[in-house]
Amino acid sequence: MTAVELTLVTMVIALSATVVTALGWGVRYVRRLDTRLASPRGRSDAVATAPSATRSATASADAAAQAQAQAQAEAEELLARAHRQAEREAEQLREAARRSAEREVAALTTEAQERLTGLKERAAELERRSTRLDERERRHADEATRLAEREKRLATAEAELARHTSALADEQAVLAAAHQTVHAELERIAGLTADAARAELVAGIEEQAKREAAVLVRDLEAEARRTGEARARHLVAEAIQRVASDQTTESTVSVLHLPSDDMKGRIIGREGRNIRAFESVTGVNLIVDDTPEAVLLSCFDPVRREVARVTMERLVADGRIHPHRIEEVAAAAQQDVAELCQRAAEEALLEVGITDLHPELVTLLGRLRYRTSYGQNVLRHLVETAHIAGLLASELRLEPAQARAAKRAAFLHDIGKALTHEVEGSHAKVGADVARRYGESDEVVHAIEAHHNEITPQTVEAVLTQAADACSGARPGARREGLSAYISRLERIEEIAVGKPGVEKVYAMQAGREVRVMVHPEQVDDIGAAVLARDVAKQIEEELTYPGQVRVTVVRELRATETAR
C-alpha cells in the first residue's frame, strides 16, 4: 500500500468517526427530549424550546451533511490522485522491468554466444586430439611392423653369429695349439724361458724409457729455465726495487751495561738473594762474571729476556734492589713489554693494510718483536715479506682476492715462531695450526704450512709466499749466521754431493750459494749428470736450512790424450 492510499484510508476513517459522533449526539438529544415530554413540565419546556432545538438539530444535521459531502469529495479526489499515482508507479515498474529483462536477455545472449564459442573451440580441440591420436596409432602400427621385421633380422643374425662363434672357437683351439708349439720351439731355439725373455725385454724398455724421460726432463728444464728464469728475475727485480727496507740486522740485547762494578754487589744481594729473586720472577738467568761494568741475561725466550732487561735497567736506575722491589718492577716491566709488543703488532698490521686479524694472532705477532732469525727481526721480516708478496701479485696481475690472500699468508707465514718454545713441531706446522684455529682461510693456512716445503705447495698464494720469504731473507744485509753454523752448513753441503756415485770432487763456493760437482766422465754420462744435479739439489733442500738459494752445477769433463812419437 502506497503513502497516498494510506492517507486516504486514514481520512475516510476519521470522517466516518465524525459522522458517527454526530449521530450519537442526535440520538442522545432525542432521548432527552423524549424524557422531558414524558412530564407535563417537560412538555411545556419542550414546546418552549422546540423551535430552538429543532433549529439546532437541523444545523447539526446540515453541518454533518456538508462535512460528509466534503469528506466524500476529498476522498474521491484522493482516490483519483492515488489512482493516477498508482498508474505512474505501475508504468515505472513496467519500464524498469522491461529494461531489466532486456539487460538479462542481452547478458544471457552474450553468455550463450561465449558458451557456443567455447564449445566450438573445444570441439575443434577434440578434433585435433582425435587427429593426433589417429596419427600416433598409425605410427605405433608402423613401429610395431618395423620391430617385428627387426626381430626377424636379429634372430637371423643371432643364428649366423652362433655359427661364426662355433667356427671361431674351433679356429682358436687350432691357433692355441699352434701357438704352444711355436712357443715351445722358440724357447728351445733361444735357450730362454718366456718369463726370462719377458723380464729382459721389460728391463730394456725400462732403461730406454728412463733415458728418454731424462732427456725430456732436461729439455723441459732448459726451456723453462730460458723463459721462466728471465721472467722470474724481472718480476723479483720489479718487486724488490719497490720495497725500501733496512740493510742492517737486529738482535735482542742480552748484555746489560752498569754504571760501575760496585752495582754488581747490590745486584747479587746478601748471599745471592737478589739474583735468586730476579731469576724466579723473570725466568731469566742472570750471569754476573768478571766482565767489567756488565751483566749477562740468558734465556731462550726473547720476550722474557726483554722483560728481564727492562726490569734490571729500572732497578739499576732506581738503586733500590731487593726481592720485593724486584717483584714490583718486574710486574710493571712485563706489562710495559706486553703493551710495547701489542703496539708493535698493531703498527705492523697498519703498515701492511690488514685490519681483520684475530686478537690472539695480533698478540702472537707482538711477541715476534723480540724474535730474530739469523739476526733478522722476525716481525720486520713479516712486514717486508707481505709487501714483496703483494708487489709480486700485482706484477703477475692476480685477482684482488688472490693478491690479498697472498699478502696475508706472507705476513703470517712465521707466526709459529712465537710458539716454537711452547709447542712441539716445526714453526710452519705450528703456525698453520694456529692460523686454522683462529679462522684463517684454507689458502692462507696451506701457504703457511708449505712455505718451507714440508708439504708440496698447491696454490699460487703458497708459491708467492715462498718467493717473498726467499727474497726477504736472501737480500744483502738481511741475515747473518754464526761462523760455526756457516762452516757446518758448507761441510754438510759437500758431504751430500760427495756421497753420490761417480763424484770425484766437490767445491762449495760463494758462501754456500753455489756447489760445483766434478764427476768421472766414464761413470756418469750427460743425462746422468742432469739427474745427479737434481738429486743433490733435492737432498740439500730437504736436509739443510739456509737463506736464499743454492745452485748445483755438475761438471763432466772428458779428456783424450795421445802421444805422437
What are φ and ψ of residue 505, in 5° steps? -140, 155
3-state percent breakdown (helix, strand, coil) of the chain, nearest 5: 75, 5, 20
Instruction: Report which secondary-structure segment, H or E, holds 191.
Output: none
**Average pLDDT, integer, range 23-37:** 61
Q: Strand, coil or helix: what is 152?
A: helix
Question: Of 438 and 421, which is predicted with more confidence?
Answer: 438
Q: Which is higher by pLDDT, 206 or 61?
A: 206
- Alpha helix locations (H) across 475-547? 483-498, 526-543
Residue type, position 343, single letter: R
The mean pLDDT of 216-228, rounded to a whole number, is: 75
The string of pLDDT tens digits covering residues 102-121 is: 888 888 888 889 988 989 89
Is pLDDT of 53 > 60? Answer: no
113: its cell numbers: 554466444
Please state the rounded mean pLDDT for residues 448-455. Answer: 86
CA nearest to 333, candidates 303, 291, 356: 303
Higher pLDDT, 111 or 185: 111
User: Do residues 410 and 239 touch, judged by C-beta distance below 8 A?
Assistant: no
Of residues 35 and 182, more confidently modeled: 182
Q: Cα–Cα distance between 488 and 501 in angstroms, integer?
A: 23
DSSP class of residue 475?
Answer: S
Q: From CA 243, how far away is CA 229, in angstroms rounded?
A: 21
Question: CA 228 to CA 221: how far, in whole Å?
Answer: 10
Residue predicted with more confidence, 34 or 13: 13
Mean pLDDT of 298-327: 85
H helix count then E strand count, the chain: 15, 8
Give the model's pLDDT for residue 291.
80
Contact, 326 vs 281, CB < 8 A? yes
Share of the chain above pLDDT 70, in %: 78
Banded model confidence at residue 230, pLDDT cuts 50, 70, 90: low
Give the pLDDT confidence score for residue 247 in this predicted structure. 45
Q: What is the pLDDT of residue 253?
A: 47
Say which DSSP state 354 is in.
-
Residues 243-262: tens digit of each pLDDT: 555 544 444 446 888 888 88
Residue 508 pLDDT exceeds 60: yes
Q: What are the tens digits of pLDDT across the range 328-365? A: 999 999 889 888 888 988 998 898 888 888 989 998 88
| Predicted pLDDT of residue 294 | 87
Burial 85-99 (b: 16+ CB within 10 A, else e): eeeeeeeeeeeeeee
Separation between Cα atoms, residue 425 and residue 532, nearest integer Å: 31
Which of 67-71, 190-194, 289-293, 466-470 bottoms out in mean pLDDT, i.e. has the lowest?
190-194
Query: The pTM is what?
Result: 0.46
Rounded distance, CA 131 to CA 223, Å?
72
Q: How far apart are CA 130 and CA 121, in angstroms?
A: 14
Highest-scoring range by mean pLDDT, 42-56, 213-227, 532-546? 532-546
Give which of 162, 184, 8 is closest to 84, Cα–Cα.
8
Give residue 64's pLDDT: 63
- Ranking 92-106, 109-123, 226-240 by mean pLDDT, the lowest is 226-240
pLDDT at position 457 over 80:
yes
Query: What pLDDT is recorded for position 271?
Result: 83
Q: Give the pLDDT mean for 84-89.
A: 83
Helix (H/G/I), strand (E/B), else coil: 493: helix
**Residue 47: pLDDT over 60:** no
Instruction: Please give the Cα distance from 396 to 290 (Å, whole number).
Output: 58
Least confident of 45-54, 370-379, 459-468: 45-54
CA distances from 322 to 284, 308, 334, 485 (A): 17, 15, 18, 41
Question: Which residues make Cβ contacts (< 8 Å) with residue 425, sequence separation at least 6?
Answer: 416, 433
Contact residues for 54 (Cβ-Cβ < 8 A; gap 6+) = none
Q: Where are the chain's structural domains?
A: 3-172, 255-474, 481-565
pLDDT score at 3: 58
Average pLDDT score over the chain: 80
| Mean pLDDT across 422-449 | 87
Does domain 481-565 fall under CATH 1.10.220.10? My reply is no
Q: 172 Cβ partners below 8 Å, 6+ apart?
A: none
Within 8 A by CB and 6+ apart from 500, the residues are 517, 532, 535, 536
Distance CA 534, CA 417 (A): 31
pLDDT attached to residue 300: 62
Residue with the bigger pLDDT between 203 and 389: it is 389
pLDDT at 446: 92
The residues with which 257 forms a beta bridge, in sequence order, are: 294
- Mean pLDDT, residues 26-37 taken together: 61
Cβ atoms within 10 Å, residue 417: 23
